[in-house]
């Protein structure tokens, strides 16, 4: 039995020792742990038919208590590995099958393992896996606190400009994906499925008037379900474009919908990009019914001040 427990750590550590920060490695280790547990139970069911019901009960109990953590971890690893995610999981499972071929599991080993899964389902999970699972076992509930204000100082054409935005208190500031990102935040303490980023783009002489075509040219070429519209933020009309993607660099099991709000301030274009990620089988339209109002509330809190005094944002307008 001890050799099986060691196996989880062996695959978790050696397969990903080259990847990312210590925090990222902990995420990958926890994902491997869950995947190996699932595959080991499947192996036991196939090889010890009399233990099939016991496996199903143990798995059901664990899934009931940790379904949210499993889903969040799976999405996180898909984002990390992108188009290599499917290959990675297949490689992990191949390694596990090879191990079982080389190390015969007895029925007593199988029974002990089922009992171990039952204990895990009740919270007795090995360290450091328990810490990561607890971090990811957070439902997608956004705790909005109007006092949770973030500020950043930026220099626009040599002038000091202060930007501020309010986000839910269980969102976490993360690194931006490009140089144009002034600030970015992610739900569920950085592990969730919703993301907001503030972009600053240099302004040209006549960029204050947007056309639909200009908005269309600003989004990825593989986008679909594209809509341009005007929405109200703080009583003023804001240009928006929304679109969906199954990015070529992302596994087909993951898709996303993004809404961009465009505004002009201090001779710059500011774009607030709001994205929600989902599994392929999930309905983005349904998920958007809860995320869209939240995205609008966060975007409406965005404020710009420069030269030591506040100024009203001038919103970009679409020419007809």
- Better pLDDT: 241 or 238: 241
Of 266, 255, 313, 257, residue with least CA distance to 289: 257
Using DSSP, state whether 128 is helix, strand or coil: coil
- Ranges of H-type helices in the chain: 2-14, 22-47, 52-81, 85-102, 107-121, 129-136, 187-190, 212-217, 284-300
- Better pLDDT: 221 or 307: 221
- Better pLDDT: 28 or 234: 28
Interior angle at CA 15, CA 11 and CA 18, nearest 5: 145
> Is the distance from CB of 134 to CB of 114 less than 8 angstroms?
no
Residue 314 has pLDDT above 70, yes or no: no
Strand pairing category for 209-210 and 317-318? parallel
Residue 196 has pLDDT above 80, yes or no: yes
pLDDT band at 210 (very low <50, low <70, confident <90, very high): low
pLDDT in tens, 30-50: 888 998 899 999 999 999 999
Q: What rounded mean pLDDT belongs to the chain?
A: 77
pLDDT in tens, 48-74: 999 999 999 999 999 988 888 888 888
Range with the poorest average pLDDT among 114-123, 203-212, 264-273: 203-212
Q: What ranges do the domains of the chain cover?
A: 2-136, 149-318
Read off the pLDDT of each residue in 182-188 and give the average, rounded to a whole number. Answer: 86
Read off the pLDDT of each residue in 229-238 and give the average, rounded to a whole number. Answer: 78
pLDDT in tens, 128-164: 888 888 877 766 556 555 456 666 666 555 566 778 8
The Cα 91–Cα 31 span in angstroms is 14
The Cα 116–Cα 279 span in angstroms is 30
Specify the CATH superfamily of domain 149-318. Answer: Mog1/PsbP, alpha/beta/alpha sandwich (3.40.1000.10)
What percentage of the chain carries pLDDT values higher than 90?
18
Residue 9 has pLDDT above 50, yes or no: no
Of 296, 273, 75, 73, residue with least CA distance to 177: 273
pTM above 0.85, yes or no: no
Interior angle at CA 52, CA 47 and CA 56, nearest 5: 130
pLDDT band at 105 (very low <50, low <70, confident <90, very high): confident
**Which residues are within 8 A (CB) of 189 and not within 5 positions of it... i.e. 6 or more apart?**
135, 138, 170, 171, 172
Using DSSP, state whether 166 is helix, strand or coil: strand
- How much is the pLDDT for 8? 45
The Cα 73–Cα 317 span in angstroms is 41
- For 314, which DSSP code? B
pLDDT in tens, 260-286: 998 776 667 788 999 998 877 778 888
pLDDT band at 302 (very low <50, low <70, confident <90, very high): confident
Read off the pLDDT of each residue in 310-317 and give the average, rounded to a whole number. Answer: 39
| DSSP characters over 251-309 | -TTEEEEEEEEEEEETTEEEEEEEEEEEETTS-HHHHHHHHHHHHHHHHHT-EEEETTE
Rg (CA), the chain: 24
Residue 308 has pLDDT above 50, yes or no: no
- How much is the pLDDT for 148? 64
């Amino acid at each position: 039995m001890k050799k099986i427990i060691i196996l989880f750590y062996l695959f978790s550590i050696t397969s990903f020792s080259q990847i990312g920060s210590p925090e990222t490695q902990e995420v990958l280790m926890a994902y491997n742990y869950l995947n190996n547990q699932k595959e080991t139970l499947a192996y036991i069911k196939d090889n010890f038919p009399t233990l099939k019901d016991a496996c199903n009960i143990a798995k059901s109990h664990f899934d009931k208590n940790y379904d949210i953590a499993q889903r969040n971890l799976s999405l996180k690893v898909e984002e990390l590995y992108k188009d290599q995610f499917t290959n990675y999981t297949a490689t992990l499972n191949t390694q596990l099958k090879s191990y079982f071929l080389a190390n015969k599991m007895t029925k007593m080993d199988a029974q002990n393992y089922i009992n171990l899964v039952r204990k895990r389902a009740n919270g007795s999970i090995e360290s450091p896996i328990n810490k990561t699972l607890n971090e990811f076992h957070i439902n997608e509930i956004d705790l909005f606190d109007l006092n949770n204000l973030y500020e950043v100082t930026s220099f626009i054409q040599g002038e000091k400009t202060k930007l501020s935005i309010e986000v839910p208190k269980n969102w976490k500031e993360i690194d931006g994906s490009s140089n144009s990102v002034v600030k970015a935040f992610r739900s569920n303490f950085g592990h969730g499925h919703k993301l907001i980023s503030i972009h600053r783009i240099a302004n040209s002489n006549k960029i204050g008037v947007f056309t639909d075509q200009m908005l269309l040219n600003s989004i990825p070429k593989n986008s679909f379900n594209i809509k341009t519209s005007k929405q109200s933020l703080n009583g003023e009309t804001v240009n928006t474009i929304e679109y969906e993607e199954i990015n070529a660099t992302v596994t087909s099991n993951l898709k996303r919908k993004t809404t961009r709000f465009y505004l002009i301030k201090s001779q710059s274009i500011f774009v607030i990009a709001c994205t929600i990620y989902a599994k392929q089988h999930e309905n983005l339209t349904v998920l958007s019914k809860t995320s869209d109002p939240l995205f609008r509330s966060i975007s409406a809190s965005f404020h710009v001040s420069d030269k030591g005094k506040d100024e009203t944002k001038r919103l970009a307008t679409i020419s007809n």
